[in-house]
Structure formats: C-alpha cells, structure tokens
Amino acid sequence: MTKMTLGATPFLLGFEQLERMIEQAAKSGTEGYPPFNIEQVSERAYRITLAVAGFSEDDLSITIEDRKLVVRGRHSDKDDGRVFLHRGIAGRQFMKSFVLADGVDVTGARTENGLLHIDLERAAPEQVVQTIQITKG
C-alpha cells in the first residue's frame, strides 16, 4: 500500500512545507515532562503554559529556530550543601518544542507561581484578489 501525501494530490499545489511541518510536529518532544497546557485566549491569541516549579528565570530559555518554538530548562548546580532525605521534585533538564505556523509570533513570556506562560498571536490574514492577464500565444 502506498502512503498518500499532500504532494500527491493534484489539487493541493505547494503544500510540501505543510507536510514537513506535520512530520516535524509528530517528531517533537512528546514526553510528559514538564506538563503543559495550550489554550486559545481569543480568536487570534494562544497561550502555552508549562509547569516549571523549581526553575528560575535564569534557568529557562525560549528560542525560535526555523518556525519551531523551543523551551529549555537547565538547573544550575547549586545545592548549597543541602542533604536530601527524599527528593521527589523533578530537577532534571528538559527541552520542549512546538511547531509554529507561518504568521504566528511570540508576543511575550512570563513566570508566575511556578508556571511559565508564553503568549502567541496569529496575524490577521490579508484578503488578496489578483487578476491574471491572459495573453495571446
């Protein structure tokens, strides 16, 4: 059986990038740490919220790499000589990535009560009507 692709459909021209983005999203980090929510806060705005308890702002980084939003967390090695009898709070590093569609931009990020909020906004699409001239051959 042959795998059906978007490029194989004659009525969908130029959608190869969409197919690559879908494959990229499927390969993105699907592990459960850290847990996260994605919510739509308005018609064109979204918010990603990650549970990053124990991480300071200096331990976190947010980058956009080739239309992929990448959030990394890395604890600085400072235990201040503490001896843990039980360590149940996860302190491992992480990398979480989200594929962004064209026109979706990050508008801000903030931490609050152990949560990292990343705000996104999708630009309003332009309504373009174009007339194509037909020339005699």
Mean pLDDT rounded to a whole number for the chain: 85
> Which sequence spans correspond to the domains of the chain?
33-122
For the 33-122 domain, the top CATH level (class) is mainly beta
Question: At 94, which helix (H) or strand (E)?
Answer: strand 94-99
Token pair of 104 as six digits:
């979706």
Cα 94 to Cα 24, 34, 130, distances in angstroms: 18, 7, 47
Q: How confident is the model at residue 81 (pLDDT cuts 50, 70, 90)?
A: confident
Q: Answer for the pair 109, 116: CB distance below 8 angstroms, yes or no.
A: yes
Q: What is the pLDDT of residues 93-128, one digit of tens each?
A: 899 999 998 899 999 999 999 999 999 999 988 888
Cα 45 to Cα 42, 51, 70, 107, 118, distances in angstroms: 5, 20, 19, 9, 11
